[in-house]
Structures are given as C-alpha cells and as structure tokens.
C-alpha cells in the first residue's frame, strides 16, 4: 500500500516541473517582446526629437533666406538660408543638418490662391497666365536633410537588434516675405499704373547734390500693374497687391519686383492757408514761398530767385516743356502740388528738377526729358529716350516699415 501511495504522489510533482519549464519559456518570450517594445519606444522618441530639430533648422533657414530676398540676389539669399541651417544650434547627435543650394527653391507666394509657385529652372505660370521671374520671388522653400546619401543619417539604438542601424530624417519649410516700404518711402509712384515703351527710357537714382554718377536705388511702385515695355528701372519696381510686372525683351530691372502686400495710400493735396495767388503763371522766376496757380506753364529757363523752397499748388494744367532747366539747384527746393487732378505734361528736350505730388493726376513724359526728383501721380507714362532720376534724399523724412518673413503652413 505504501508503494502505491508513493507512485500516486509522484504524478503531481512531475506535472509541476513541466509547468515551471513552460513558464520560463513564456517569460523569456514576453521579455523579448517587452524589450522590443521598449527599444521601439526609445528609437521612436529619438526619431521624433530629430525630426522636431530638423524642422526647426528648416524653418529658420527658410525665414532667413526669404527675409533677404528684397535686398539680395537669389544666390545671396540661398547662401543666407544655408548659413542659418548650419548654425551650431541646429546640430543633433553630433552631426550637422545638411543643406545645399539644390535643396532651396525660390518662388512666388500668391495670396489669392494661398499657393507657392516655384521657380524651377523655367519660369512658372500663375493661374492668370503671368510668368514668374526670378526678381518676382517673395518666398523660399527649403529641404533639410539627414540622410544616408549625405552621410549623416540618424543612428538608431535598439533597432540594431532587428538589423536597422540608421534612418533618414528630412523636413521642409516655406517662408513668405511681406511688408516693407509703403507710402512716402516710394519716390516714383503711379497709383493706377506705370507704363513705358521707350527703348532707352529709364528710371534710376541719384544722391544730391551730386548728379553723377547715377545710382541703382530707385523706388518705383504702383497699386496696379507696372508695364515697362523695353524701359529700364535701376532699383526696385513694385506692382500693387496681387498685380504684376511686365517687361519687354530688352528691359532691365536691377531690384526687387515682388508685388506689394499693402496698398499705397496718398491723400489729395490741399492748399495751405496764406498761399499767394498767381493766376495763370507763365513766368521764368519765383522767389521762395507758397503759391497757388490756375495754370502753371513756366517759360524757359525757370529759376528760383534767392535761397529757399518754392511750393506751388496748381488746380489747372501743368506743362513743363521746351528747352528748360527748371530750378538748376536742388529738386527739393521746387515742389509742385496738383489740386483736383490736373494733367502734367513734360515734352521735348527738357531738364527738370522738382518734387511733384499730385496723386489725382496723369504724369506724361515724352521726348528726351531728364527729370530729377520725385513723382507721386495717379499714373506715370514715360516714353522716348527720357529718364527719371529719383532723388534719394526724398525718402529721408520717411521711416520704412520693416520686411517680415512668415512661415506658410
């Protein structure tokens, strides 16, 4: 009986040992699975941190590059973006963010469609058919890389168990530049348009009292299109909000031509109290002072007698023509204000030095006129082989609004 009992008691013991062995196997499998999940979590966190920092690097590069577009050529703007991408603060895991010129794309951000239209080799057309040129570009798209192809891919840790030692990380950012000069900061303004078809017509700038050499700091703007034909602008030429710049095959613009982001506002001129009435003026000289006139058609040559500023407010036609040298001194000493929109004509072989403010008037320039000064008119039409030389001192009393770059989401 005792033997039988011993045999019966050994069966539960054998089953217990079998269960213990199975448990060890299960525990081993579970530990392996848990370690896999933990390692996966560590590497996923590592990748997320890398992507966040990569995005920061791309964002800063796009913002810096876009912000330099108004004042630099495309190559310089791309260089600025790369410099910011390579800042030491953008390093991660001991490796630098990789950004090359080919990773940067210029383009035009078009608010009506909230779309970035890239300039890739060939100009890109907008929905209205306008062909984007390099100088129109107001936005930049950049690609940051940490890839195996660049030799700086992100190393992984626990994923090595599964044969994965590294992973590529990239980020893209697009920034748009807006703001900048408004109102009085521009010196050659045609509110409803600027047009030219002259093969040698040009707008440049000068810094008085030195009239030569001419410079490339002209500030031209409109609330509408600017159509230069084959005329040239040595400086900036900014069409209105959502408007365009048009050029002929030989036209040259050396500055920034992206559309304005805010409309220009110039209130009508008003006659100040105490202005001296002149009636219909056709004389050849005026003393410094403030005047009103029904018409202003001075004879040649016109001069200012004495030292000071002549301000004249004209309600009728303004004609500056013939072989004239109006105010041989500083343009800022002779200021013409149009009241109610009189037409302003400059015709023939003329040399004119004046500041003209007549935001309700059409300004037409023909022949071989050399105009030195500043113009604010309803429209500007300059043709032939004449030239408008912007007086850079005109902007001294105005503070530019700063350009700002914003990310496009």
DSSP secondary structure string for all residues of 102-171: GGEEEEEEETTTTEEEEEBSB--B-TTSPBP-GGG--EEEEEEEE-TTTT-PEE-SGGGGGT--EE-EEE
And the tokens for 310? 């002549």
CB atoms within 10 A of CB 254: 17
Kind and range of the H or E run holding 339: none
Q: What is the pLDDT of residues 1-34, one digit of tens each?
A: 444 544 445 555 555 555 555 566 555 566 555 5
Tell me what pLDDT residue 1 has: 46
> Residue 263 corresponds to which tokens in the numbers above?
């409309």
CA angle 112, 79, 260 (to 5 degrees): 25
**3-class SS at 196?**
coil
Residue 145's closest CA among 96, 212, 83?
96
The dihedrals phi and psi of 18, each to the nearest 5 degrees, come to -65, -40
Between the alpha carbon of residue 362 and those of residues 38, 89, 243, 306, the distances in Å are: 75, 54, 20, 31
The tokens for 205 are 């700038």
Beta bridge partners of 304: 286
d(CA 139, CA 177): 6
pLDDT given at position 212: 78
Closest-CA residue to 74 (of 86, 65, 62): 65
Q: What is the pLDDT of residue 29?
A: 60
Average pLDDT across the chain, whole number? 83
pTM of the model as a whole: 0.81
Token pair recorded at residue 380: 């500007």
CB neighbours of 229 closer than 8 A, spacing ≥ 6?
195, 196, 197, 198, 201, 247, 248, 251
C-alpha neighbours within 13 Å on the C-beta side of residue 193: 10
* Beta-sheet strand order (sheet of 169-179): 115-119, 104-110, 139-146, 169-179, 403-407
What are the E-state strand segments in 301-349?
A: 303-304, 310-314, 318-321, 324-326, 334-338, 344-347
Pick the closest to residue 261 from 244, 243, 241 (CA basis): 241
Question: Hunting for tokens 């210029």 — which residue is that?
Answer: 106
CB atoms within 10 A of CB 77: 23
DSSP state of 322: S
The predicted structure's pLDDT at residue 301: 83
- The CA distance from 173 to 37, in Å, is 32
Going residue by residue through the chain, which has 409 residues, state the pLDDT in tens, using 9 for 90 and above.
444 544 445 555 555 555 555 566 555 566 555 555 555 556 676 678 778 888 888 899 999 999 999 987 888 899 999 888 887 666 666 677 778 888 899 999 988 888 898 887 665 678 888 888 888 899 999 998 888 887 777 777 666 666 666 778 888 999 999 988 877 789 899 999 999 976 778 999 999 988 877 899 999 999 999 999 999 999 999 999 999 999 988 899 999 999 999 999 999 999 999 999 999 999 989 999 999 999 999 988 888 888 889 999 999 999 987 666 677 678 999 999 999 988 999 877 888 899 999 999 999 988 888 899 999 999 999 888 889 999 998 876 666 678 899 999 7
- The answer to whether 357 and 339 are in contact (CB under 8 A) is no
What is the pLDDT at residue 39? Answer: 57
| Bridge pairing between strands 350-365 and 334-338 | parallel
What 3-state class would DSSP assign to 389? strand
Measured distance CA(283)–CA(13) in Å, rounded:
130
- pLDDT of 309 reads 92
Q: Any residues with CB less than 8 A from the CB of 129 and at least 6 apart, and which?
A: none
Give the residue from 405, 296, 406 showing the smallest Cα distance to 352: 296
């Amino acid at each position: 009986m005792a033997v039988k009992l011993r045999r019966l008691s050994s069966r539960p013991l054998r089953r217990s040992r079998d269960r213990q062995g199975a448990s060890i196997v299960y525990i081993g499998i579970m530990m392996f699975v848990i370690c896999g999940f933990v390692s996966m979590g560590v590497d996923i966190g590592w990748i997320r941190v890398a992507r966040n920092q990569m995005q920061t690097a791309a964002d800063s590069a796009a913002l810096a590059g876009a912000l330099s577009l108004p004042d630099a050529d495309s190559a310089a703007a791309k260089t600025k973006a790369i410099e910011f991408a390579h800042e030491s603060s953008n390093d991660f895991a001991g490796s630098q963010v990789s950004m090359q010129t080919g990773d940067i794309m210029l383009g035009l951000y078009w608010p009506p469609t909230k779309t970035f239209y890239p300039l890739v080799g060939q100009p890109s057309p907008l929905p209205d058919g306008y062909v984007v040129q390099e100088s129109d570009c107001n936005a930049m798209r950049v690609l940051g890389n940490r890839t195996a192809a660049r030799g700086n891919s992100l190393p992984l840790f626990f994923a090595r168990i599964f044969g994965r030692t590294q992973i590529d990380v990239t980020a893209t950012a697009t920034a748009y530049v807006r703001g900048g000069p408004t109102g009085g900061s521009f010196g050659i303004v045609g509110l409803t348009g600027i047009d030219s078809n002259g093969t040698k017509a040009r707008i440049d700038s000068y810094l008085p009292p030195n009239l030569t050499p001419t410079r490339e700091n002209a500030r031209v703007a409109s609330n509408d299109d600017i159509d230069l034909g084959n005329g040239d602008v040595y400086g900036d030429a900014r069409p209105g909000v959502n408007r365009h710049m048009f050029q002929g095959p030989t036209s040259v613009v050396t500055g920034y031509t992206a559309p304005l982001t805010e409309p220009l506002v110039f209130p009508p001129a008003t006659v100040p109290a105490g202005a001296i009435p002149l009636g219909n003026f056709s004389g050849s000289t005026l003393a410094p002072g403030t005047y009103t006139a029904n018409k202003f058609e001075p004879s040649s040559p016109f001069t200012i007698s004495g030292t000071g500023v002549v301000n004249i407010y004209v309600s009728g036609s303004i004609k500056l023509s013939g072989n004239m040298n109006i105010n041989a001194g500083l343009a800022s000493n002779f200021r013409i204000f149009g009241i109610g929109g009189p037409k302003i004509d400059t015709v023939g072989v003329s040399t004119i030095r004046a500041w003209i403010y007549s935001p309700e008037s059409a300004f037409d320039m023909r022949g071989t006129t050399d105009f030195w000064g500043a113009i604010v008119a309803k429209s500007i039409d300059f043709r032939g082989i004449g030239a408008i030389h912007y007086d850079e001192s005109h902007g001294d009393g105005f503070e530019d609004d700063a350009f700002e770059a914003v990310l496009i989401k």
